[in-house]
Amino acid sequence: MNNFEKWLELAERAEKELNDSGVFGRLEKTAFINQMRVMDAFREFQVSESHFCPTTGYGYDDRGRDTLEEIFARVFETEDAIVRHSIISGTQALCIGLFGILRPGDTMLSVTGKPYDTLDEVIGLRGEGMGSLRDYGVKYREIAMGDDGTVNIDEMSRILSEDDSIKMVYFQRSKGYAVRRTLSAQEIGLAAQAAHKIKPEVYTFVDNCYGEFCDEHEPTYYGADIAVGSLIKNAGGGMAETGGYIVGTKKAVELISYRLTTPGIGKEAGASLGQTKNMYKGLFYAPHTVCQSLKTAVFAAKLFEDLGYDIYPVAEEPRHDIIQTVTLGSEKAMLNFCAGIQSGSPVDSHVVPEAWAMPGYADPVVMAAGAFTSGASIELSADGPVKPPYTAYLQGGLTYESGKLGILLAAQKISEEN
C-alpha cells in the first residue's frame, strides 16, 4: 500500500470530527435501543437450541419457524410476520406482498415516486405478458415527492378521496437509484395515519429495505400496515444466507401468506431445512451490524466530502437507511471507485467489477460486492447505473474497521488513476 499513510491520516482526521460532533455516539445509542428490543423478544419467547432443529417435507408444526415469526412481529411491534428462507430476495418479498393484497380492478398508489427499478416488471411498467400486476388488471398511479423530500400528504389525501379503486398506498423508504431523502420510519407512519383517516380500509405498504434498525422503531410501530424486506440486507445481520420477511397486521399477513404458499394453507407449512439458526442469529446481530454499516457510511461521507466530491447525505445528517451516495462525475472515476471497494472486500478482492446488463434494471449497472453471501447488501458493496452524473450507491460493512479500509482503498484507487 504505497503512500497509504496519508490516507490513514485523512481517516484519523475524519473520525475525530465524527466523534467530536457526536455522530458515532448517536448511531450507537440507536443500536442499543434496538438491541434491547431484540433481546426482550428472545427472552419472552424462550429461545433454545430446540428452535434450531430442521424440518423437511411440508414442515408442519415447525416450532423454530413459528417462534421466529412471532419474534419478528414483536421486534417490529406489529401483529404477525412471515420469515422464510425460501423468499429469494427483497423484490420477491415485495412481489408476494403486492399480489397477496391487490385484486383485479384495484389501484396501487405509490406516494414516493416510481419504485425501485426491479419492480418495474412486477407492476407492469416494463415488459408485457410476464404476469405483472397490470396483466391481472391492477392499476398503478404515483405521486412525486415534495420539493422538500417529504410525502405530499395533501395530494395523497385528495387522490384517495376521489379514487375509490385505490386499495394500497405504497411507500419506498430508501432512495433506490435516486438522490433524495430517505424517509424516517415516523414520517412514513404519519403519512400512513393520514391515509387511514381518508380511507380506513386502505392498506399502507412499505418497502423497508435498507432501513431496518436505522431508527429506534420501524414504520409498523407508527401506523403502517405492512413492511417488507430482505434477510441479506439489514434484518439478516450478515448471518442469514438467504430469505425475506413480511410483517404487518394479522389480516394483511394472512392474505399475503396465501400468495406465499396456497389459499387455505398460508403460513402453516414450509420446511426450514436447517436455515432457521442463521435467521435467528441474523436478527440477534442486526442492530449491531446495521450500526457498523451506518458508521461506514458516515465515514465515507466525511472523507469524500473532504476530497471535494458531491455526497448525500452529509455525514452529520440523521440516517434512516444504510445507503450513502458519492457522485464521481465520470464513468472512469465510478468504475475506479467500485474497483477500490472490491479490492477491500474479503471475497473476490482480486476481481475488477465491470458494468453489465443486470436482470431487472433498465441501464447497465456496475456492482462491487465481494461478499460471503452473494448479493448481500449488508456487506460492503457499491453499485449504480453507469450513466451521468455517475453516482455510486454505497452500502453495508459487516464491521466498521473493514468498511473503513474499503473506503480508503476506493479513495486511493481514484487518486492513483486520476
Q: What is the pLDDT of residues 146-185, one digit of tens each?
A: 989 999 999 999 999 999 999 999 999 998 877 789 999 9
Residue 75 falls inside a structural domain: yes
Q: Are residues 247 and 386 in the same domain?
A: no
Which one, of 140, 202, 204, 209, lies nearest residue 171 by Cα? Answer: 204
Share of the chain above pLDDT 90, in %: 91
Q: Are residues 265 and 311 in the same domain?
A: no
Q: Are residues 144 and 288 in the same domain?
A: no
Query: What's the average model confidence in pLDDT over 387-402?
Result: 96
Q: Which pLDDT score is estimated for 359?
A: 73
Phi then psi dihedrals of residue 367, to 5 deg: -140, 120
Q: Are residues 171 and 94 in the same domain?
A: yes
Q: Are residues 256 and 148 in the same domain?
A: yes
Q: What three-state secondary structure class fits 146?
A: coil
pLDDT in tens, 97-152: 999 999 999 999 999 999 998 999 999 999 888 999 999 999 999 999 998 999 99
Q: Are residues 334 and 187 in the same domain?
A: no
Cβ atoms of residues 238 and 398 within 8 Å = yes
Q: Could you tell me the CA-to-CA distances from 97 to 22, 71, 173, 255 in Å, in that order?
A: 39, 20, 16, 9
| pLDDT band per the 50, 70, 90 thresholds, residue 201 | very high
| DSSP E strand boundaries for 289-409 | 310-312, 324-327, 365-368, 381-385, 391-395
Residue 189 falls inside a structural domain: yes
CATH classification of the domain holding 318: 3.90.1150.60
- 203-207 sheet: strands from edge to edge: 80-84, 244-248, 226-230, 203-207, 166-172, 107-110, 139-142
Query: What's the average model confidence in pLDDT over 70-90?
Result: 98
Cβ atoms of residues 110 and 140 within 8 Å = yes
Nine-digit cell string for 375: 448479493
d(CA 239, CA 380): 14
Q: Are residues 250 and 118 in the same domain?
A: yes
Q: Is the pLDDT of residue 350 over 70?
A: yes
Q: Which pLDDT score is estimated for 127?
A: 86
Which structural domain, as residue segments, surrounds residue 291?
4-34+284-417
C-alpha of 13 from chain center: 30
| pLDDT band per the 50, 70, 90 thresholds, residue 2 | low
Q: Which pLDDT score is estimated for 1?
A: 47
Q: Which pLDDT score is estimated for 9?
A: 93
Q: Residues for the chain: how many in total? A: 418
Q: Are residues 225 and 356 in the same domain?
A: no
Which of 275, 296, 321 is where one domain is finished? Answer: 275
Instruction: Give the chain's mean pLDDT.
Output: 95
Q: Which pLDDT score is estimated for 259?
A: 98
pLDDT in tens, 10-39: 999 999 999 999 999 999 999 999 999 999
Q: Are residues 172 and 298 in the same domain?
A: no
| pLDDT band per the 50, 70, 90 thresholds, residue 360 | low
d(CA 160, CA 167): 9
Q: Which pLDDT score is estimated for 255?
A: 98
